[in-house]
Structure 1
Amino acid sequence: MRRTPQQPRKTAVQHDVANTFTFPTIMSLQVGFSAHSKELKSAYEQVIDNNSSVNWLIYTYDKGTNDLKVQATGEDGLEELSEEFIDGRIQYALARVKDPNTELPKLVFIAWCGTGVPESRKGLFNSHLNDVSKFFKSFHIQINARNEGDVDPEAIMKRVSASSGANYSFHKETRRAEPAIVPVNSVYKRTEIPDIATMQRQTMKSEPAPAPVNSVHEPVRTNPGKLADRWGSSQESDQSKADQVRAERERAEQEAQEREQSMAAEREQRSREEAARQEERSRAYQSQQDSQRQQREEEDRRRQEEEEHQRQLQREEEEAAYQQQQQAEQESAHQQQAEEEERQRRQAEEEEAERARQEEHHRRQLEEDETRQQQEQAQLEADLAASAQHAAETAEHAADIAVDPHSGNGVSAVVLFTYDASEENEISMAEGEIIHNIEQLDEGWWSGTSEDGSRSGLFPSNYVQILETQHEPEAPVQPEVPEPAEQEAPAEPEGPSAVALYDYDAGEENEISFAENQVIRDIQFVSDDWWSGLAPDGSAVGLFPGKWSKLWLHACS
């Protein structure tokens, strides 16, 4: 497969020497042939030349313009051409094929508008099609195609065959061996057709007239004559007549054969004359093509001159329009500058007023924040007091519970807080309930059984208080109740304090870390979610989570 793709021409940008600006290019809606006229003509002349190996071409548009360029040419006919059509393009193709009826070259013009072409381009297809068909001028068949079925080689050749108008059988017949031509007499001689009935009548022997009878009776001779002599003349007569009939039949067959040979010669002569006429028509067609090509070249020259004249007029109009636009832009710039100065003055006044409003709003916000912090501090102190009271009561309740060391329930603990199991292997606990058979699996999670023995599983260790065994009934051991607010709080704190419910590791440099039950002092409520305070070891002041989905800290007094 051979085809010659055409490279797009690079168009130089035209600059006006007298001015530093360039004029914008306005794309014409008309199809353009001048930008690549040399390539377009060269490809077209190769296709219409019967002696050229190039037998098809395809045009398409240069990117972003209405100028036609040569997309490709080839030598392998319609099969190769059908692969060049693209669904999203408008393309024009010309192919030289051989008419299967007349064996003469035919030109097929294919106008392709794919289904994927934008609607804005489809609107120009019909007007551009007229101009392109005028550019090609002489072609035998035009096909408007939109899909692959329209450009199928077999379908195209059917249309070519149907358009020829006549089927000449002498191009397809196999020559038969004909007998040698017998010379015909220069003088016409009519062929006599033998009359069989007359010949049969002539063969009948005429009976002789009867002889006169004698007056004296003579006996009749009984000796017969020779039979050979009796039938000999009749046989000779029949043989002669049969030979005559056979000769007449052979002569008739010979004349019929001569007539058939004469008719065959006439048919051959007509075939040669028809071939000569076809050759003459082909030469006339080629001459017409040459004449039309010269006419097209002349029209192209005039068109280029007209287009150049139109471009010159357009440049002059654009220059005048540009000067008017420059003047209008200068006037508009002065007007915009005055409006901008006025706008800046008004904006400065509005910004000053807005700044005053923001300062007033900030002052009121600070007052509201101070009031809210005081209220939150009071609420936190109340919550911590209640929490400390609850812990004391729970510890007191735990102290009252005596555990028999011989009961066989192992280590037991009292539930300080209600816990709902979130996994299948956990146990739910109610406040004040006793858990037996405790196994301390790790630091955070223990395992145990409910008091009634119906439930068992894991639970958090900080939700219970271990019950010590009672060695002497009269002297129960008092469980330790953590009161970090009273033990670790300074004598005179400068701000609110809080006890940690969970461990926290700082994630940023400006945060502090602490462990469960440690106390954070000098708390400042930076926001609803983040507070600032002094670390338990007093080494740094930083941020820590205050309120989240769960309360992490309880403020204490």
Structure 2
Amino acid sequence: MSFQVNFNTHGADLNAAYQAVLNDNDPVNWLIYSYDKGTNDLRVQGTGDGGLEELYDEFNDGKIQFAYARVKDPNTELPKYVFVAWCGSGVPETRKGFFNSHLSEVSKFFKSFHVQINARDEADVEPDLIIKRVAESSGAKYSVHKEKARAQPAVTPVGSVYQKTEIPDIAAMQRESMKKEGPPKPVGTNYEPVQTAPKPLAARWGGVQTQDSGAVSIRAEREKAERELREREEQLARERERQERNIEEERRRQEEAEARRHAAEEAAQREREEAERQRREQAAAEARAHEEERKRLAAEEQERQRRAAEERERQQREAEERERQQREAEERERQQRETEERERQQREIEERERQRRDTEEREKQQKEAEERQRKQREAEQREKQQREAEERERQQREAEKARRQEEELMAQQQAVNAVQHQALDTTAHAQGTNGLSAVVLFGYEAAESNEMTLIEGETILQIDQVDEGWWFGVGDDGKKQGLFPANYVQILEEEEEQEPMAPPPPPPMPPVSQPTPTPKEDLGQTAIALYDYAAGEDNEISFKESEIITHIEFVSEDWWQGVGPDGTTVGLFPANYVELQH
């Protein structure tokens, strides 16, 4: 921290308060400065227009304060400026050490003032004392427009304390003395002049002798009076001389005293001037030392402030960079959280929507499957009833025919056997010329009454391709016929050489009606199982490898719905467990 007074922090406020006190038209007539806590930053503690009485209450024993006030000189009624430097008795010793150097800097800030007061307690800042100091500092003691003009005393070298020595008026003193003693009586106070009429000259000369006695007495009285007058005049002359000697002695003593006083004053003035010169020289030396110290401290302070400013700028740049990176990271995190939240919400919405659609679809498919199963069961029931009725009718017809032909059949049993063998040969010949034959690749168990069970390796004759996936044929033994899956057999190529014709058969037996094959039911989209699968839920189906699933519906990408191998159970199954059949 710099040891100098800092005028920069609150410079505008300090200067504004100072200019307000200098301005005679401004009501503000005092200001007081103090320091910011713990620093040397000078600030405005307060201003006011209440004069020295109001300023008196602002001083604090625990502070260093500087006051500046505008007052009226009681002698001249002109504005005078007072600078008060206050160092309270309660100020810490460490702060007191800076008081003198700070006082010098603050006094330069105020530039001009008439009276400076260095105060340490309240007695030094009494308003009456300050006014008295202002009056004493004004030099000539006069008032404007208060008393009549009077003659100015003679100016002496020490005019500030000179008092004119009054020289007594000797004539006045004599008049005063005469008044006190009373004027001397005229010599002729008791003299009565003789009234004589003018006489002729001759008579006048002749009358001298007659009047000799009267003239003698008159002369005696006149001489006496003259003598008394001379004595009185001599006495007055002696008195005047004595008074003059006294006055001269008094004047001499006063002149000697005035000379001694003047010499003493001149000596005191010289001492004061010498002391002032020494003080100025000391102050100048101290000022130079202080200025050098101030410059050194200022340079150090500037260097410290420069380094501090650079450090603050560096720290500020680092802080701004950290803050920017933090804001960017927070913004990225916020955007990522918002994106994740939107995606999560979208996934939840899609999942709920998918579950809703799946549920609705499963319910719909379940209802449709149940409806199909119901319709299928009803159709199967009707078909079964119809087959049973047809079977009963056929059995009745056959029974009737059997009864009619019973005797013929019994008689011609051998012929029947021959006819059967001939029929087999005829069937083989017909296959070679008019029908297709195929060899069974996989075994197949008939699931319906109109289907035919296949045995691996056997030959199927008279094949009729009634449907893309299902064919109709006759077993190689001629005892079975019906529908079978086309992908379970392989067509045989027609032989180039035909077998020789069999001998003509015996007369044929009466024709026996053959049941008309039932057209194959539409199984919809079908698939063959690639792996075994056991149902994990009530709405799923189970199957074994190579079993057929029919009436497949593609409810989703991973799960399909169809009719199980038993032909009645409808449910879901994994799509990757089967292979579609085209």
| TM-score, normalized by the shorter chain, greater than 0.5 | no
The structure whose RCO (Cα within 8 Å, separation 6+) is larger is 1
More helix by share: 2
Larger Rg: 2
Q: TM-score if structure 2 supplies the norm length?
A: 0.28
The TM-score, its normalising length taken from structure 1, stands at: 0.29
